[in-house]
Structure 1
Amino acid sequence: MECPFTNDFPRADIHELLSPDLLHQLIKGTFKDHLVDWIGEFLSLRHGPVHSQVVMTEIDRRIAAAPPFTGLRRFPEGRGFKQWTGDDSKALMKVYLPAVDGLVPSEIVRTMRAFLEFCYIARRDVHTPESLDQLEEAVERFHDYREVFQEEGVRVEGFSLPRQHSIKHYYDAIWDFGAPNGLCSSITESKHIKAVKEPWRRSNRFQALGQMLTTNQRLDKLAASRVDFINRGMIEQPSKPKQACLPSTDDDGAIDDPRSPGYVKLSSRFKRQHHFNSAALTSHPDRPTFNRLLREFLRNQVNALNPSMFLTELPVFDEPIFIHYSAAATFYAPSDPSGIRGMRREHIRANPSWRGGAPRFDCVYVKPEVCHEDSPHPQFDVARVFMLFSFKFHGQQYECALVHWFKWTDYHPDEDTGMWIVDRGHAGDASRPVLSIIPIQRILRAAHLIPMFGQTNVPPDISATDSLDRFRLFYVNKYVDHHAFEILHSP
């Protein structure tokens, strides 16, 4: 079939000219327009229109109950909004799989898992033969599992869909042209606005092509003249507009720092009323063992720094401590929104009243004290931060976190969702209690946990702010961003 745009190109192949479009082919196309709608149709066929609406409402409740996470869009009403944008679809992809798990057959869950893994592998900024093999394997699993929609009567006509068909060509396109990373047609659309739409609006809309070309020529000449005048000193360099000082809670995302190993830094601010002696915390109802935990931490630190003066007794501590409500984690994540050197920053909160409302205590990945290469689990632990604080002891400055540990429930990820499961309610063991104090240098970055809902309905009084306290088992969400996927994905 001939294409009018390439008719005069003797060696043009239209299939090679169509580049991967992650946003429109995968996120808005295959995910939103196909899989999400197909699940709705499946529920209607399986349960009937009335009961299927009950199940859809339950899915919305689960989406609304997803705990907050830096940069993650909230869906307080679930997925029931009228106008979908690309950002809506991207955000829903991150929480949709745990929401439908247990409400639809495992084949549908595995279809969604295979598709999400394909999306995240394709989005990598660098590809290797191994990653492309994983990409191809994800495509095969997706094509195998999606047959359930044809068997259940949702897609009786099959899967002759251009946007899904494009998935087959990603493997060859990446070999030919490199990693698509964030490539989508919106990039050229933004240029189209400046070059076509805005000049069109300035024309009189009658035989506008010549007027539009003249407008673009004059704008280019004005821009070139401005650069020349600035270089000659005839006009001043325009100063960048001053931006209002934003609170640190909004300072997340891309940064232009040089590439470096990841690190965590406490916020520079602390509340003056929280400058008090730590002994006063021994009677705090939420932290009855804080004083002892702090002294045990100091004993371990002293013994690690000075093995010759090994302490068996807990040291006496009567210095003031300073409570911080957030910490900034900086790490290398080139496939996520990051600076030109690939660095990204996000904030970890441990705030008893987040934005004047409910408390917010984020979860984190913690680097183990001793790394076991043969461990079947990921090379870090998962914990929830209940306090960030700093203090001095014997002239040494310490920056620490009071954390509640989660425990891995199995030696491999869940077979349906591909996500690891952790348990909040374990009683601890002799090697590590449930609560402990760690230096913030052991924190890798924030983690996103989503309750493992199973087949039970979410109680109506549960919200995103308290779901971490109301459930016991959680998925460690590897789909919350690309960096999390990289460190949690098990090929």
Structure 2
Amino acid sequence: MLLTNQRLDKLAASRADFKARGMLLGTCYSDAVKRLERLSMALFDVDENDPQNSQDEAESERDSGTESDEEGAEDGNEDTGVVQGPLLASVTLARRPQPHYPRTMHELGTYMKIPEFSQLVTRFLHERLDPADIQPLEVSSFRVFHSSVAIFRAPSDISGIEGLRRERIRATPSWCSGPGRYDCIFAETDENSAGFRGLLAARVKLFFSFKHVQQEWPCALVEWFSPVGTEPDQETGMWIVEPDLNNDGIPICDIIHVESILRGAHLIGVAGRDFIPRNLRHYESLDAFQSFYVNKYADHHTHEIAF
């Protein structure tokens, strides 16, 4: 009885303290809405009114040895994390564009050493707009980003309210003052097909956006991987994919809308019977192997979508 009374007194004191702090105002739903509003501002707001400020901030962050698309405490530097609030799955580019990149289509293609970049942009618009609406082709304000943020429903993994999880996908020429990092993704291709049959694996080489007739298009330049066969590998249970190459052995590039991206993917090189060189670095793996396993054991959510 004494222990019960002691606990009741503690509960009463806690309630008085919580009330004084304003912690009992509102409901769980209103708190979730407020969290969602703060998250939306942190993830999706881009300062369009003062581009010079954004450039100055990016340059100062670069000088200090950090990525300009790392958003600090409000956005989180970690690659993955939970998301609070009833938010639909989405993919958005980083808040700040990177400086020192060309701002026109032809110059950006030359800078990236992709001579067919202009044709890829034209084909991208042709697939989404009436051809009569894009003659002549008027595109401008090309901006490059080093990452994007994917939010998806993954209740089986550590997640926030409504089972949402956040993942940062990177495509940067230098990561942590070292070599470049170009992550792989799952891209949705067929909503009616289950598992990996409705997806494709790709490697992101560039995140960018441009404007056409005052409409902004957030895009990703990717290199595709095609499945080997129509079923997963019998020994591992994982799909095997190969990079799409042209006649010269160069990866075939394509431009997709960021909304086509589902989440990040993990590819493991198929070594076969050969020994892996001891001096092979992790950042060289996607260029060193001829085929790859689509790792469905990376986490619970990947296991649910890449079967």
Residues 266 and 295 of structure 2 are in contact (CA less than 8 Å); yes or no, is this contact kept in structure 1?
A: yes
Task: Give, in angstroms, the shift of residue 256 of structure 1.
Answer: 1.5
Q: Note if 1:333 corresponds to 2:150.
A: no
Task: Give, in angstroms, the shift of residue 248 of structure 1.
Answer: 4.0
Instruction: For 2:123 and 2:99, locate their aligned partners in 1 and report how far apart those are by CA, in whole Å.
Output: 26
Residues 325 and 388 of structure 1 are in contact (CA less than 8 Å); yes or no, is this contact kept in structure 2?
A: yes
Unaligned stretches of 5+ residues in structure 1: 1-213, 239-243
1:471 is aligned to 289
Instruction: For 1:296 and 1:287, locate their aligned partners in 2 and report how far apart those are by CA, in whole Å.
Output: 15
Q: Note if 1:290 corresponds to 2:117.
A: yes
Instruction: For 1:377 and 1:426, locate their aligned partners in 2 and report how far apart those are by CA, in whole Å.
Output: 21
Instruction: For 2:114 and 2:219, locate their aligned partners in 1 and report how far apart those are by CA, in whole Å.
Output: 15
Instruction: For 2:79 and 2:195, locate their aligned partners in 1 and report how far apart those are by CA, in whole Å.
Output: 36
Task: Give, in angstroms, the shift of residue 219 of structure 1.
Answer: 8.5
TM-score (ref. length: structure 2): 0.73
1:281 is aligned to 108
2:55 is aligned to none
The structure carrying a bigger strand percent of its residues is 2
TM-score (ref. length: structure 1): 0.47
2:53 is aligned to none
2:137 is aligned to 316
Q: Map 1:345-364 onto structure 2 (within 5 A).
A: 345-364=166-185
Query: Which of 223, 227, 240 matches 2:14?
Result: 227
Q: Note if 1:422 corresponds to 2:241.
A: yes
Seen in structure 2, the aligned counterparts of structure 1 residues 317 and 232 have a Cα distance that, compared at 3 Å, is closer
Question: Residue type of the partner of 1:421?
Answer: I
2:267 is aligned to 449
Task: After superposition, give the CA deviation of every residue in 1:81-106 in whole Å (9 maximum; x if it has no partner).
Answer: xxxxxxxxxxxxxxxxxxxxxxxxxx
Q: Map 1:105-124 onto structure 2 (within 5 A).
A: none
Instruction: For 1:247 and 1:354, locate their aligned partners in 2 and report how far apart those are by CA, in whole Å.
Output: 18
Instruction: For 2:191 and 2:22, locate their aligned partners in 1 and report how far apart those are by CA, in whole Å.
Output: 53
1:140 is aligned to none
Residues 269 and 289 of structure 2 are in contact (CA less than 8 Å); yes or no, is this contact kept in structure 1?
A: yes
Residues 407 and 426 of structure 1 are in contact (CA less than 8 Å); yes or no, is this contact kept in structure 2?
A: no
Task: Give, in angstroms, the shift of residue 320 of structure 1.
Answer: 2.4
Question: Residue type of the partner of 1:487?
Answer: I
Q: Map 1:9-408 onto structure 2 (within 5 A).
A: 220=7, 223-230=10-17, 233=20, 236=21, 245=73, 248-250=76-78, 252-258=80-86, 260=88, 262-274=89-101, 276-284=103-111, 286-303=113-130, 309=132, 315-368=136-189, 373=193, 378-408=197-227
Seen in structure 2, the aligned counterparts of structure 1 residues 484 and 228 have a Cα distance that, compared at 3 Å, is closer
The structure carrying a bigger helix percent of its residues is 1
The two structures, once aligned, show a CA RMSD in angstroms of 2.9
The runs of at least 4 aligned residues of structure 1 exceeding 6 Å deviation read: 216-219
Question: Residue type of the partner of 1:473?
Answer: S
Larger RCO (alpha carbons 8 Å, 6+ apart): 1
Identity %: 34
Residues 102 and 108 of structure 2 are in contact (CA less than 8 Å); yes or no, is this contact kept in structure 1?
A: no
Seen in structure 2, the aligned counterparts of structure 1 residues 276 and 376 have a Cα distance that, compared at 3 Å, is closer
Task: Give, in angstroms, the shift of residue 247 of structure 1.
Answer: 5.9
